[in-house]
Structure 1
Amino acid sequence: MLVPTCATWLGCAEPEPTVRAELPAENPECPASSAVLVKADTRFHSGARVTAVPQDLSGRDLELFILQGSGFERRAPVAVSDGSVCFRDVPEGADYYLRSDTTYYLGHTRRFDLGVNRNGRPDTVTSDAIQTPVRLDLTGLQPWRAHETSAEGSLLEVVSGEVAWTAGLTFPAAQPVAGATQMQGMEAQAWSLDGRLPVLEGEKGDRLYVNQLDLVEDGRLPSGAPLKYRTVVGSLHAPAVSFTPDGDPALVLSGELKAVRQASFSPQWPLSAFTRWGPEVNPDAQAGEARFDVMPATFSLTAGRVGYQGELFTLEVPGGEDGDIARRFTYGNPYPGSWGLVGSASYTFVSPTPVIVGKRIHRPSGSMLVMDRLSSLTAHAIVPVITPPRLLRIDGMDAATVRTVTSTQPVVSWRSPFEGVPGSYQVEFIKLGAEATDSPTVSFFVTSDRQQVSPPPGALEAGSTYYVRVTADGSSFTPWQAPGATADVLPVYKAATFSAAFTTP
């Protein structure tokens, strides 16, 4: 049971979250002595209450690879009770990869939890849609900023505190005119920012916030360039509504946006503490972009950051800035004081030479990230807690060199970071394709004592171009036991290194 906490604006601190990997109990259909049981619950968070609803894994794309020297032995899942699956004939103490779609988790536990946290009511019905038409009848907008790039212009986001609904609005038919303060009968499209859209049930109190975000220019960056950030400038908390996102009819959002409560924070962010590690991210890396975000978290942060509820403040700093950002920022917050606040500071580095596949241009990249509750993040100077893995190699050769590897199972190796203690590593093989529909990234999560990964047969495609990114994670994340539940626990400390492009034979 989660304990309710006081509002952050009262100055009282929330209790630190406890990492609890509640592994599945013994199941006679899948004895721990000879088998691996995989279970998944969706844990719905609603106020101080958490309700676990079992998932049915029988139709999910799961597979188990038992490590045997340099080879692998496959196991297929067998459905058992409570929606769980069982992998039988797994030798006791054996290391294995559990594959879920294109993600591989290295483990050896006999009970594996693929459960996830989710915001909202436990009886939420989720649609199959990730977008839905919207009709807007809004007044009280701040004068609309029309701009060629969305980063410079006005934006609208729609967020619910009752179900996991977070969406950005686009305008496929006609863009709002510059200076507009109302939208009457305007057509828009809501695109989910957090998975499939849930069904809204008005009788259960499901409401939506409609937030306008605008760019604010306030002061100068260390280089002297204008300092600009995006924040909420107006909000409508619409009445409860029933709506099913099935493409027809449109969701109607109507009412007056009003001014929002102003809040502030004062980060001490020496950018040079991140840029100095650029050569470890990649020997030829260029500084891409630094970014600071303030994000809301429904109800509180007792369970960490659950779901995604849009943005309150976003500062994007152009690459090359390495001075100190130390000042007070003011931003708009339409949500109750019981909602939590998460701060995130990152610096992304990119390859100086783009990779062209077909007519598509790709830029390999890697980032360093520090994320925590906002009050904790800004209580001291924001510096990397962990640095990138060192000496990245592919088949024993420097990974910064473009090459064709000898097989679809290249050996990727690295060494531990100069600073920080990793709890785990993530190894991503990112395919660089000519089409937007090309295969997704293949990810491997391994324990901190592993500093080498070779993909099982079939994980990578022949005749394809990839780059590999290895991320050291110094958080409480435990991917070998309960990856979905522990990924939300704060704080989060990550740092990545990435390779040059390589091609499989």
Structure 2
Amino acid sequence: MFSVLLSSLTLVGCGSGADGQPDDFHGGRDPIIVPEDTSLAADGGVDGGNPYEVRGSRVMHYRIDIGDFTQPVDPLSPELKAFTLSDGGTRPLTVQTSPDGTFRVTDAPAGRYYLQLGTLYVVSDSRTMDLDRYDLGRRDRAGTTTPLPVTVSASNLAPQPYDDFPSFEAVSSNLGEFAYLNANAPVPAGATFVDQLPVRYMSTNTVDELLVNASRGDRLYINSLAERNNGTFTYSTIDRFFTPDPLTMSPTVSNDLYGTFQLAPQYTARFEWWRSRFEAYQVQVHPQSVPSSQGLGISPTPWDSESWYGYSGDLMFASNPSEITDLVTSFTYGNPYPFSWGAVVGISHGFQIPATLLPGTTWGGVTGNLIDTRKLSVATAGPITPRITPAWDLAVDGRNAQQALTLTSLTPRITWKAPLVGSPSAYRVRLSRLSASDTRTVASAVSTIHTSETFVDVPPGILQPGQKYAITVYSYLTPGVSLAVRPYVMESLVDIASATTVSSILSTPAALAPELHAEPEPSFEPEPGIKPTRLYRMREQLTAQH
């Protein structure tokens, strides 16, 4: 969750004073747009100061059921820092922030500089930078850290031939909620109704269990999924749904979701999926990579077909072991949502990297992938082929990083060559610390470096002596969007493709202790370009193989 200032709220496309909106709505005004060749003085005027000054914005974009809002980000959540590399260390730069969400790096030098937000580093020579973020759901949502008591009372369930512990999904776009409702008690074989069935309510988009509040405009869809087989894939899709009466949840009393399931409107989508072209780039992910799984899903995009805020589950999702045969296949799926919602298709090809497993472990480590997301109408119009492929010739200080190495510095230069297919909009370099947990290698991301170049210099304080690391280089294609200067815009895109290349285990010797800095806290931020729950499902499938 993001902490935000209580000023400058903007609603796009709707009038003010609507029910369920923040109390400070009436004070809204549009974000400030600064022409690229303008330098602002502290009083808002134009100055003739440093010609290399960097200017940018940090604004949070919220989408709720009646429109889109903007809100300046609290400058301390996290604090924006800037620096350059100098003589093996860093030279801090001055960052000035304003209440309207704009910022300036007043003493930026000519050429390259670093911006830092927590464990994300942006390396650029651009004089403008857009650090805006995008989220689904109202900003004043509340949650609880205690288990939320929820029951389901519903009729017209699809009967099962055996006693079953059903799982439902709860979706609220106004709240930004996607939750699992997992039954705590069995439903008898053949049953078509349940009465106050106790369920475990599990929010997936936040740590807390979000509380539905009818007075703030929150509404729920309760979806029941069915398993189907189209002759090629066994897949899950929304089969039935109901919309319970408006309710306000409480963490202290039972919250009963009741209604009558109805069949979701059914649609058919046909795909021509050239799997062989994706799998052909296996060795560029890593020479020792092993194909692990392939996935195809259709996801709803609340209230717009041209952007995708948050994650509201899937209309259908299929996962199969990897194959190289091309497919022409069709899926019938349910979609209970309004016509104003759009839909996107996500294709994933996953690869396990045994070269990132620590001795004594048999699973985990770092995985690689090729992923492509596009609008449903585009995905069904022609063949689905790779639009971006992995970077290659990954090296650390000039040495092949896809062989096990012991580094000679805690601030190495990481280099690679551009992909053979596609012109990347930007790259991200993720540094993951490797540790053993029983038979599993756990990869904890300690830093991500965003750049438009084919190299990065690792700043001091990220790599630590006596540790094991792995590097993942993500190549991104974002047609029509300048990802290099908009590092968070992936949170809203319906058209994006990515591919990764992964190193082997890289060791840092304990002898480099004089360079020791306080290690950053591991980041659990999902990989950019992949919605959190979709990533969870992909990893869940890999885990199930063990």
Deviation at 1:337, TM superposition (A): 1.7
Q: Residues 385-422 of structure 1, C-alpha deviation per residue, up to 9 Å, x if partnerless?
A: 11111111122222221222223223221101111111
| Aligned 8 A contact 2:63 2:174 in 1 | no
User: Are 1:293 and 2:297 an aligned pair?
Assistant: yes
Q: 1:489 aligns with which of 477, 489, 493?
A: 493
| Aligned 8 A contact 1:386 1:419 in 2 | yes
| Aligned 8 A contact 2:163 2:188 in 1 | no
Deviation at 1:49, TM superposition (A): 3.6
- CA gap of 1:128–1:85, structure 2 versus 1, over 3 A, is farther
| Aligned 8 A contact 2:242 2:262 in 1 | yes
User: Are 1:162 and 2:174 an aligned pair?
Assistant: yes
The equivalent residue for 2:239 is 233
- Counterpart Cα distance in 1 of 2:352 and 2:362: 16
User: What amino acid sits opposite 2:196 in the alignment?
Assistant: G
Instruction: Find the residue that maps to 2:377 and give its secondary structure.
Output: helix
User: Are 1:467 and 2:470 an aligned pair?
Assistant: yes
- Unpaired runs of at least 5, structure 2: 1-10, 15-30, 510-546
User: Are 1:100 and 2:117 an aligned pair?
Assistant: yes
| Aligned 8 A contact 1:134 1:253 in 2 | no
Instruction: Find the residue that maps to 1:82 and give its secondary structure.
Output: coil
Q: 1:54 aligns with which of 72, 77, 90?
A: 72
Deviation at 1:199, TM superposition (A): 4.7
Of residues 175-184 and 384-393 in structure 1, the stretch that sits farther from structure 2 once superposed is: 175-184
User: Are 1:369 and 2:371 an aligned pair?
Assistant: yes
Q: 1:306 aligns with which of 291, 309, 316?
A: 309
- Counterpart Cα distance in 2 of 1:205 and 1:287: 45
- CA gap of 1:145–1:418, structure 2 versus 1, over 3 A, is farther
Deviation at 1:189, TM superposition (A): 3.1
Q: 1:417 aligns with which of 416, 419, 433?
A: 419
User: Are 1:378 and 2:389 an aligned pair?
Assistant: no
CA RMSD in angstroms comes to 3.2
- Counterpart Cα distance in 1 of 2:40 and 2:128: 10
User: What amino acid sits opposite 1:166 in the alignment?
Assistant: F
- Counterpart Cα distance in 1 of 2:495 and 2:210: 28
Q: 2:107 aligns with which of 65, 89, 103?
A: 89
| Aligned 8 A contact 2:365 2:434 in 1 | no
Deviation at 1:370, TM superposition (A): 1.4
Q: 1:444 aligns with which of 446, 449, 464?
A: 449
User: What amino acid sits opposite 1:213 in the alignment?
Assistant: L
User: Are 1:135 and 2:150 an aligned pair?
Assistant: yes
- Counterpart Cα distance in 2 of 1:83 and 1:191: 33
- Unpaired runs of at least 5, structure 1: 5-20, 222-226
User: What amino acid sits opposite 1:281 in the alignment?
Assistant: V
Deviation at 1:98, TM superposition (A): 1.1
Indicate the structure whose relative CO is greater, using CA pairs within 8 Å and at least 6 residues apart.
1
User: Are 1:270 and 2:281 an aligned pair?
Assistant: no
Instruction: Find the residue that maps to 1:252 and give its secondary structure.
Output: strand
Q: Residues 22-74 of structure 1, C-alpha deviation per residue, up to 9 Å, x if partnerless?
A: 85576533979445455322222346743212222134243212244865322
Q: Residues 330-371 of structure 1, C-alpha deviation per residue, up to 9 Å, x if partnerless?
A: 011111222101111111111245613786842321111111
- Counterpart Cα distance in 1 of 2:468 and 2:394: 18
- CA gap of 1:154–1:376, structure 2 versus 1, over 3 A, is farther
- CA gap of 1:102–1:181, structure 2 versus 1, over 3 A, is farther
Deviation at 1:89, TM superposition (A): 2.5
- CA gap of 1:125–1:418, structure 2 versus 1, over 3 A, is same
- CA gap of 1:361–1:322, structure 2 versus 1, over 3 A, is closer
Deviation at 1:475, TM superposition (A): 1.0
| Aligned 8 A contact 1:45 1:118 in 2 | yes
- Counterpart Cα distance in 2 of 1:344 and 1:66: 38
The equivalent residue for 2:530 is none
- CA gap of 1:127–1:235, structure 2 versus 1, over 3 A, is same
Q: Residues 318-337 of structure 1, C-alpha deviation per residue, up to 9 Å, x if partnerless?
A: 12x11122122101111122
The equivalent residue for 1:404 is 406
- CA gap of 1:431–1:107, structure 2 versus 1, over 3 A, is same
Identity of aligned residues (%): 25
Deviation at 1:198, TM superposition (A): 5.2
| Aligned 8 A contact 2:396 2:412 in 1 | yes
Q: 1:211 aligns with which of 220, 223, 245?
A: 223
| Aligned 8 A contact 2:434 2:442 in 1 | no
- CA gap of 1:401–1:354, structure 2 versus 1, over 3 A, is closer
| Aligned 8 A contact 1:133 1:188 in 2 | no
| Aligned 8 A contact 1:131 1:190 in 2 | no
User: What amino acid sits opposite 1:73 in the alignment?
Assistant: R
Of residues 305-314 and 468-477 in structure 1, the stretch that sits farther from structure 2 once superposed is: 468-477
